[in-house]
Structure 1
Amino acid sequence: MADSKGAAPASVSWRKFAFLNLTPAQYFVRLIPAIVYGLYTYSTRGPFQPPSCTSFGLSCPMTTNHISGVLERPEYYGQVLGYYTDLIAQSEDLGGSLAVFVDGMAVIDVYTGFKDLARTQVYDNTTLQQVYSSGKAVEGIIIARLVDQGRLDYEAKIVEYWPEFGQNGKEEVRLRDLMVHEAGVPALDDEDKLDALSWASMGDEEKFSERLARQPHVFGGKPTRAYHAITRGWFLNEIVKRTDPKGRTIGQIAQQDLMTDYEDLELYYSKLPKESDWEDRLSPMHDYPLLRLLGRLVLPQVIQNSRIFGNPRTLPLHRIVKRSFDSKSLTARTLTPKFAPWPRLLRTPEAHVYEGTSFSLKSNAHSLARLMSMMANKGGSTRPGEPNLLSTETYTQATTLHGTSLDEVTGEIVPLSVGGWAKTRSFYGEGPLKGVEVQGWSGAEGSLILWIEELGIGFSYVTNAFGASETLLGDYRGKTLLDRVVYARKSELGLLPKKKAPEEQAEAGAGAEEK
């Protein structure tokens, strides 16, 4: 009895710890249900939530979304706002602003969501956001205004304004070439390992200017399309400082001219008005989860778009994502330079001390859509008492199609105007946008800054949720929003194809049967 009683507890104890003797394969088999559940919740929940929520459904924020601002003509534009709030509710977006001006008047001008993943800090009308390359749209407007004033000429060689630029194959480069990313300087070389390019080294403006001037033409002087993602603003500023009567930069002109001529604009390329604004007003940017990005690199698109394990609305990742992994490629040198190999390094305070107008603009959707609405009006003012943004002559010249060619950095063909904006009639899908000419630019995080002249639309979508790189011009969020805006505008103007009444459809069907 004693032996049997003594053996029983030992047997129970052994069963309790039997998992310690499992093989790795047996461990994996037992973990499959948990892995499948984790993958399912991770892939179907929006990416912009706390990791514990996306993976296990734990600690998910329970706050109610808010939205404030202006919505006019809701019978047309209400569905746009509905989709926008859905993006926030499904955590495909986190916080931001959306503004749509039609014929100079705001029909949508709203702020929604939160600044943080825990959803405790409201994103409101005082919030500013870095918009990365969307700032190039405003950069192009300021250059066009200098052309309008006779201080610059798109066809002039850059050496006419900046003689030191004319070396190492750049002697014949025109201002137009720089605007359309064909100046041959998409990236900067590290000339000396002891003096590697850094934000600190850019603080010596004279030395940095000399370094820019020395940069060799990547293509031996031949105009070749290669996206100047970061560098275009630096080179443009050297030209602008030499031609503006006050020696101002693009950012200073934006603040002193645009923000003075047009009320309620906020355009900051360098420092913010107050040092505290960096924390109080500027929303942090939340990066797309790396694990999810890696999954999208290896999983077939059909799985990514499935309703069970993905999102039907997402687009394939852009080819630049894979190209960026080759550190020696021109794509990697351009988009992930040594001084800023990750996008988050372009949004540190140090990165904004020296003005980088191709990536550093901090603004909001209202300000940007206001400017786009004037561009949709061919540069004309949209409010009584305000001056024109551009003359009709300069607007026509700047928006003339420069041409289409394959970009050596992005591997994509995007039609560009002389002023450096995208200008295309094949922007997104087969829906309402098909055949509609869209002009403007976008940011790496997903922001879109565009105008549509034929419909009188100025559009801006600004976000603090850094989306996956799906196309060179935005991702599915901004593109779908614009598609819905165009649908609303066409509906408002009676430009949508009319659906046949049921009796007409029946008659048409009967006629077909008789034939």
Structure 2
Amino acid sequence: MVLKVDVPSDLVAGDVDEGYGAVADAFRRNFAQRGEIGAACAVYRDGRKVVDLWGGYRDGIARAPWRSDTMVNVFSTTKGVASLALALAHSRGLLDYDQPVAAYWPQFAQAGKADVTVRQLLSHQAGLCAIDQPLSLADLADLDVVAQALAAQRPAWAPGKRHGYHAISLGWYEGELLRRVDPKSRSLGRFFAEEIAGPLGLHFHIGLPDDTDPQRLARIHGFKPAEMLGHLNAMPWRFVAGFLNPRSITARSFANPKVLAEADNYNLAQVRRLELPAANGTGEARAVAQLYGAVASEESKLGLAMSTLAALTRPARPPSGGLRDMVLGVDSVFSLGYIKPFPRFRFGGSEERAFGTPGAGGSFGFADPQTGIGFAYTMNRMGFHLWDDPRELALRDALYRTVLGERSQRPS
């Protein structure tokens, strides 16, 4: 059962610039009214930090306070961070989104994948969401073992015809593709650390270093998969039914290895230290917001070419068979490693140039070049929404509707 904790008001801290008080008010209400345990929210606008909030407990059981430098696993919010590593490679001419993946990784052409493009792979259209070869945590630490399993996988549908959320596998495919095109053959975690996090001074890791101070880490307070049955008003019933059926493509997309199917297991040191570029990035909310803010404000120090930014902000190219997600069981819209705005998930300004990724339990980070916004929300109490967690939505809506005078962020 999800932990419930009363958080004293004096454990909510941080700063906002003048005019952004509505975001701080919403953040405080999350603790008073929405069951928040520990969380952080940061916003950058035009490359400048305007919101930096944190509060509650980084460990609700031990009652250890969330500090300004607390880092937490952000689950699939990691996908957007990782995909910026691929975007940087694109900007440097190391890959082309419309070339076949096999042009860079010849072994990938096995099992009917010779014509799968980088765009299709990054947009969850390749049918490679579930990996048939059983993998252990030890296997995941060996990139060559993982690459062999990925290359041998047969697509679950004709690539480009359907799409389905590549919940864990997307990060592995991105990592191996990057390792193939990077002149130094670096893993995605190492590439991110050396080319993005280091130069920008970000406290965010894809693969947590063993020497990380444990006092900086928040504990995830998750739920057992069966508890989703009590929240069908928030979680799509098709997704829940699939997740609980071990033979379904949904369950197989989240549970190889099986330990990854339960959120609490992401507290384990042996999981934290792995590079799971789709699922286990650990860092500060301000790091995610700063990174997206650097993209949204077109800052030169990130090094993204204008052609790359244009590709990220364009509308998605949906699969020919429609928007129904074969894994999530609802309509979804993906492009180049990101979710794009659509009627059921309205984020960013009205021009819909925004792109980002939400994470299991409620976290979310995105860039919105229309308004120059980089936004991030992180938390340790898992919620039951695929996106638009009420806590995150309250913050984002306060920012856009009240502060910026833009459209409501609530679904149409």
TM-score relative to the length of structure 2? 0.89
Alignment correspondent of 1:480: 394
- 1:98-137 superposed matches below 5 A: 98-118=41-61, 120-137=63-80
Give the superposition deviation at 1:271.
Answer: 2.5
Q: Distance in 1 between matches of 2:341 and 2:104?
A: 31
In the alignment, is residue 189 of structure 1 matched against residue 132 of structure 2? Answer: yes
Q: 1:83 aligns to what?
A: 26
Cα distance in 2 for partners of 1:156, 1:479 equals 37
Hey, what's the Cα distance between the residues in 2 that align with 1:291 and 1:354?
Answer: 26
Are 1:329 and 2:248 counterparts? Answer: yes
Q: Is residue 162 of structure 1 aligned with residue 81 of structure 2?
A: no
The CA deviation string for residues 222-279 of structure 1, in whole angstroms up to 9 with x for no partner, is: 542111110011111111112111111111111111123213x11211132x5352x2
Q: 2 CA distance for matches of 1:131 and 1:485?
A: 21
- Whole-Å separation in 2 of the counterparts to 1:407 and 1:211: 24
Output the aligned Cα RMSD. Answer: 2.6
Name which of 133, 138, 143 aligns with 2:81: 138
User: 1:365–1:131: structure 2 CA closer, same or farther, 3 Å change rule?
Assistant: same
C-alpha spacing 1:316/1:444, structure 2 compared with 1 (3 Å): closer
Q: How far 1:118 sits from its partner (Å)?
A: 4.4
Q: What is the match of residue 370 of structure 1?
A: 290
Deviation at 1:159, TM superposition (A): 1.1
CA 234–92 in structure 1, closer or farther in 2 if over 3 Å, else same: same
Letter in 1 for 2:183: P
Per-residue deviation at 1:207?
2.7
| Distance in structure 1 (CA, Å) of the matches to 2:42 and 2:237 | 26
SS at match of 1:286: coil
Give me the whole-angstrom Cα distance separating, in 2, the residues matched to 1:353 and 1:115.
19
Q: What TM-score do you get using the length of structure 1 for normalisation?
A: 0.72
Would you say 1:393 and 2:307 are equivalent positions? yes
Q: Determine which structure has more spread, i.e. the larger CA radius of gyration.
A: 1
Q: Equivalents in 2 of 1:290, 1:247: separation in Å? A: 37
Tell me the residue number matched to 1:407: 325
The answer as to whether partners of 1:259 and 1:267 remain within 8 angstroms in 2 is yes
Displacement after TM superposition at 1:434 (Å): 8.4
Match of 2:361 in 1: 445
- Which of these residues, 220, 225, 232, is aligned with residue 285 of structure 1? 220
Corresponding residue pairs, total:
402
Change (3 A) 1:223 1:252: farther
CA contact (8 A) 2:349 2:368 kept: no
- Equivalent runs, 1:70-469 vs 2, <5 Å: 70-73=15-18, 76-90=19-33, 92-118=35-61, 120-190=63-133, 196-221=134-159, 223-263=161-201, 265-272=202-209, 274-277=210-213, 279-288=214-223, 293-297=228-232, 315=234, 319-340=238-259, 341-377=261-297, 380-381=298-299, 387-404=301-318, 405-417=323-335, 419-426=336-343, 428=345, 435=350, 437=352, 438-468=354-384
Report the alpha carbon displacement of residue 209 of structure 1 after superposing the two structures with TM: 1.9
Task: Choose between structure 1 and 2 for higher RCO, CA contacts under 8 A separated by at least 6 residues.
Answer: 2
Secondary structure at the residue paired with 1:280?
Answer: helix
| Separation in structure 1 between the aligned mates of residue 294 and residue 206 of structure 2, nearest angstrom | 21
Equivalent residue letter for 1:453: P
1:295/1:414 Cα in 2 relative to 1: closer, same or farther (>3 Å)?
closer
Q: Give yes or no for contact 1:70–1:106 (8 Å, CA) kept in 2.
A: no
Q: CA deviation at 1:403?
A: 2.3
1:134-187 Cα deviation digits (max 9, x unpaired): 011111111011011011110111111111111111111111111101122101
Percent of pairs with identical residues: 26
Equivalent residues of 2:97, 2:119 under 8 A apart: yes
Identify which range, 249-258 or 84-93, moves more after superposition. 84-93
The CA distance in 2 between the partners of 1:230 and 1:474, in whole Å, is 21
Distance 1:149 1:92, change over 3 A: same
Change (3 A) 1:48 1:481: farther
Structure with the higher fraction of residues in helix conformation = 1
Question: What is the alpha-carbon distance in structure 2 between the residues aligned to residue 245 and residue 434 of structure 1?
Answer: 37
Residue 214 of structure 1 and its aligned partner are, at CA, apart by: 1.0
Q: Could you say if the C-alpha distance between residues 287 and 354 of structure 1 is closer, same or farther in structure 2, counting changes exceeding 3 Å?
A: closer
Flag the 1:166–1:101 CA change in 2: closer, same or farther, 3 A: same
By how many angstroms is 1:400 displaced?
2.2
Secondary structure of the structure 1 residue equivalent to 2:167: coil
Q: Deviations over 1:111-141 (max 9, x none)?
A: 1111222463110122111101101111111
- Shift of the 213–351 alpha-carbon distance from structure 1 to 2, 3 Å rule, reads same
Mark the runs of 5 or more structure 2 residues left unpaired by the alignment.
none
Deviations 1:21-42 (A, max 9, x none): xxxxxxxxxxxxxxxxxxxxx9
- Which amino acid letter does the alignment assign opposite residue 375 of structure 2? F
Does the 8 A contact of 1:444 with 1:474 survive in 2? no
Cα distance in 2, alignment partners of residues 421 and 462 from structure 1: 18
Letter in 1 for 2:340: K
Q: For residues 88 and 189 of structure 1, do their structure 2 counterparts lie closer, same or farther at Cα, with a shift above 3 Å needed?
A: same
Unaligned regions of 5+ residues in structure 1, if any? 1-41, 51-60, 191-195, 302-314, 498-515
Contact 1:65 1:88 (C-alpha < 8 Å) held by counterparts: no
Larger mean CA deviation between 79-88 and 341-350 belongs to 341-350
Post-superposition offset of 1:206: 2.4
1:17 corresponding residue in structure 2: none
